[in-house]
Structure 1
Amino acid sequence: MLEKYDRAKLLDEVWTDAVTVVAPRYQLSDVGLQKLCRRLQIPTPPRGYWTRLKAGKPVAPRPKLREYIGHPMHLFRTPAPPVPPTPLPLDERLAVLLASERDPANHIVVPDHIRHWHPLVVAAQQSLKKPVIDQRDMPSTRRPALSISVSPAQQARALKIADVLLKAFEARGYPVTQGQHDVNICMLGRLYHLRLFEACTKAAYVPTAKQLADQAKGAWSYWPKSHYVPTGRLQVLINEGYAGKVMDSDRLPVEAQLNKLLEQMATTAVESLVNAERQAVIDAKRQQLREAALERKRLQDSERQRLGQLETDAHNWRRAQAIREYLDALEQTLDARGSVVDQQAFIQWGRAKAAWLDPLLHEVVDILDEEIKVPF
């Protein structure tokens, strides 16, 4: 939301204090404030005004603020540019991994010839002999082999890249295993899967000479309007590109970017680890607050129970006192009539019940204390 300048306030400020004092209030320099006042059509003190005022000499009177006739947008304050967030310090574990990948001694090189293939790459080679044909008519490995979906012209290259990558993972201490569906790489306790993919472009389908000849003879024929054409550009994906992705470009082939791929994986793995650690701290604090709240709740429930028992005891004590007072009055009335002897058993029974009700007399036992279960 745009903030509008208060012209009357600014006029009062520039005629009360020097420009050097007023300018910082608007995050401007002295020259910038002068330009702002001209844009807002606010007169400023002439040169030498403050020197003459300090010396006690007569100065120009403060002018009145005239009606603004400039561009309406000049009345609004330009919002300050957003302050970029302070970048978080690089995690020490990630810094070590990145430094290792950027060390020339650890540069991953794809050789021209491979003598001993990785067992999982051998399995992928066998799978490509009887491939699955995907919707782009591209041969792909059958699960659970290493996921490779490239044209026959790129298969040898893709297999070499996969072989070098899997060996590089293992050399760095990242176990490589065959999962139920994909080849998994375990980095910092997180599982990632590898996929090699060749991009395609969609082009108009060009019928073969045989198809055209059959059509010319009147034979039934059909061909699609378009088809996919392999581009020859490989992509190496980690978790479908969400944890790392490199691809052939006009400047660099995939083979020159394999260390970059591992850097991306390391970044994702450390971020996941940091997030898990941060969440563990949050969960521990939440659990601590929960346990404290539960303990407080137990104390509260205990206090409520004690208070309830106190109220019950007080109520029963008042009942016992009321019965005793009634029996005393009854006894006096009967004594005056001379018939107290006839009601003496009732009076004794009543006093016994009052004693049973009285919480101050805990030793009193009565039939009312019994829990009687009548058998069927």
Structure 2
Amino acid sequence: MVERYDRAKLLEEVWSEPVQVVAPRYGLSDVGLKKLCSRLQIPTPPRGHWAKVKAGKRVSLRPKLCEYTGHPGYLYRTAAPPSAQDPVAEVVDSRLQRVLSFEQQPENKIVVPERIKVWHPVVAAAREALVRPIIDQRGMPQTRGNGLNISVSAALKSRALRVADTLLKALEKRGYIVQQGKHQVEVVMFGDALRLRLYEPSLRSDYVPSAAQLAEKAKGGWSYWPKWQFTPSGRLQVMADDGYGGKITDSDRHSVEQQINKLVGLMATRAVGFLVRNERQAIEDAERQRVREVALERKRRQDAEKQRLAKLEVDAQNWRRAQVIREYLNALEESPERHEHSMEQLELLRWGRAKADWIDPLKPGVVDVLDEEIVIPR
């Protein structure tokens, strides 16, 4: 399961006890825990802190936990930490653990019968395809089309079909989905589609021409001989996703029939692994989106503050301009050299003061011809 670190709890722990005590709870060494705290932006006590505490000396106060601004992925782990009693135990996702436990119980052992009365539809189609199979480059019969992929010799055909039938029925009984994929049959486990294949490896050796071929060559006749010849190994393999999703093989000690439960567990391991990875990615994406939205909101507020400040500066400049105009007009009006003002001067004083009021942001609502947007027709 994907879990999120509790930063507040971890801060409380590392400031209440030495990291050597706290680290095993997280399955880490003391150095590993310090690195984790660094990634999570959690301050840790300075060197010598606990020696001062033991000696009764004054120490640094516990700092406050700041808002996390690092990579969102650092906040999560894919499973709960190992217990303090067993710090090296491997942690398994609970969903996978249930599958593995179920497959290990004796009463759930999958048994391949000697005879099949009613074939699974997918296997029935494969039986029909093997009546007139295609021959691969090894000379081995193989099913046609996009159904169940079976490539075995005639000697293993019956076994392969019975194993396939038993496996598919067991998977469906466990709640998994057997479906027709784009290219071949798939099994859907925990949302992941795994392609099934039954295969018989071949033994490769140098090609040995027949007596007839050698005689034809001795006569100077033309003939083509392949470089290799292939011999069926007699060992059956069952694979999911070409072996990446699990593979079982006949061995000297165990046949494929005895390992079907193991294959189910291997397939579940891969499927749950993809599921956990996707869950973690979804959480990281959501956290990254949250951090982005927080940053966008802060940027929006910052831009609004800048616009507000810019308007304030413009208003202050306009207020200063209006004051300068008024001061000049007052000085002009009170000039000792002018006892009487002409009509033109009086009009200038009136007009100038009106313009100062229009400029002054403290006198809103003043309308002037300068406010008009004049469009000259073409």
Tell me the TM-score normalised to structure 1 length: 0.72
Q: Does 1:221 align with 2:231?
A: no
Q: Which has the larger radius of gyration?
A: 1
Q: What amino acid is the match of 2:368?
A: D
Percent of aligned pairs sharing the same letter: 55
Contact kept? 1:331, 1:340, Cα under 8 Å: no
Contact kept? 1:158, 1:196, Cα under 8 Å: yes
Residue in structure 1 matching 2:364, options 362, 365, 370: 362
Shift of 1:138: 2.6
Residue in structure 1 matching 2:245, options 243, 246, 260: 243
Unmatched runs of 5 consecutive residues or more in structure 2:
1-85
Higher relative contact order by CA 8 Å / sep ≥ 6: 1 or 2?
Answer: 2
Shift of 1:226: 1.7
Residue 86 of structure 1 is matched in structure 2 by 88
Q: Helix, strand or coil for the counterpart of 1:152?
A: coil
> After superposition, where does 1:46-125 map in structure 2 within 5 Å?
86-125=88-127
Q: Helix, strand or coil for the counterpart of 1:227?
A: strand
Q: Helix, strand or coil for the counterpart of 2:146?
A: coil
Shift of 1:340: 4.2
| Alpha-carbon distance in 2 for matches of 1:258, 1:375 | 87
| Alpha-carbon distance in 2 for matches of 1:306, 1:142 | 73
Q: Helix, strand or coil for the counterpart of 1:246?
A: strand
Which sits farther off after the overlay, 342-351 or 245-254? Answer: 342-351
| Alpha-carbon distance in 1 for matches of 2:294, 2:362 | 36
Shift of 1:96: 1.6
| Alpha-carbon distance in 2 for matches of 1:259, 1:354 | 92
Residue 234 of structure 2 is matched in structure 1 by 232
| Alpha-carbon distance in 2 for matches of 1:85, 1:372 | 81
Provide Cα deviations, 1:150-205, integer angstroms capped at 9, x if missing partner.
22322222111111111111111101111121211111222111111111232110
Q: Does 1:272 align with 2:266?
A: no
Shift of 1:334: 8.7
| Alpha-carbon distance in 2 for matches of 1:130, 1:157 | 18
Q: Does 1:285 align with 2:287?
A: yes
Shift of 1:339: 4.4
CA pair 232-355 structure 1, distance change in 2 beyond 3 A: same
Residue 298 of structure 2 is matched in structure 1 by 296
| Alpha-carbon distance in 2 for matches of 1:324, 1:374 | 34
Provide Cα deviations, 1:86-111, integer angstroms capped at 9, x if missing partner.
34433222222111111112111111
CA pair 144-240 structure 1, distance change in 2 beyond 3 A: same
Shift of 1:218: 2.5
Provide Cα deviations, 1:94-130, integer angstroms capped at 9, x if missing partner.
2221111111121111111111111111111222233
> After superposition, where does 1:1-376 map in structure 2 within 5 Å?
86-333=88-335, 336=338, 338-376=340-378
Q: What amino acid is the match of 2:251?
A: S
Residue 25 of structure 1 is matched in structure 2 by none
Residue 66 of structure 1 is matched in structure 2 by none
Q: Helix, strand or coil for the counterpart of 1:232?
A: coil
CA pair 207-368 structure 1, distance change in 2 beyond 3 A: same
Residue 43 of structure 1 is matched in structure 2 by none
CA pair 375-234 structure 1, distance change in 2 beyond 3 A: farther
| Alpha-carbon distance in 2 for matches of 1:360, 1:122 | 91
CA pair 159-351 structure 1, distance change in 2 beyond 3 A: same
Shift of 1:85: 7.9
Provide Cα deviations, 1:126-145, integer angstroms capped at 9, x if missing partner.
22233333333333222311
Q: Helix, strand or coil for the counterpart of 1:274?
A: helix
CA pair 343-142 structure 1, distance change in 2 beyond 3 A: farther
Shift of 1:246: 0.8
Q: Helix, strand or coil for the counterpart of 1:229?
A: strand
Provide Cα deviations, 1:9-63, integer angstroms capped at 9, x if missing partner.
xxxxxxxxxxxxxxxxxxxxxxxxxxxxxxxxxxxxxxxxxxxxxxxxxxxxxxx
Number of residues paired by the alignment?
293
Residue 35 of structure 2 is matched in structure 1 by none
RMSD of the TM alignment (CA)? Answer: 2.1
| Alpha-carbon distance in 1 for matches of 2:211, 2:376 | 101
Which sits farther off after the overlay, 253-262 or 278-287? Answer: 278-287
Unmatched runs of 5 consecutive residues or more in structure 1:
1-83
| Alpha-carbon distance in 2 for matches of 1:86, 1:309 | 63
| Alpha-carbon distance in 2 for matches of 1:158, 1:252 | 16
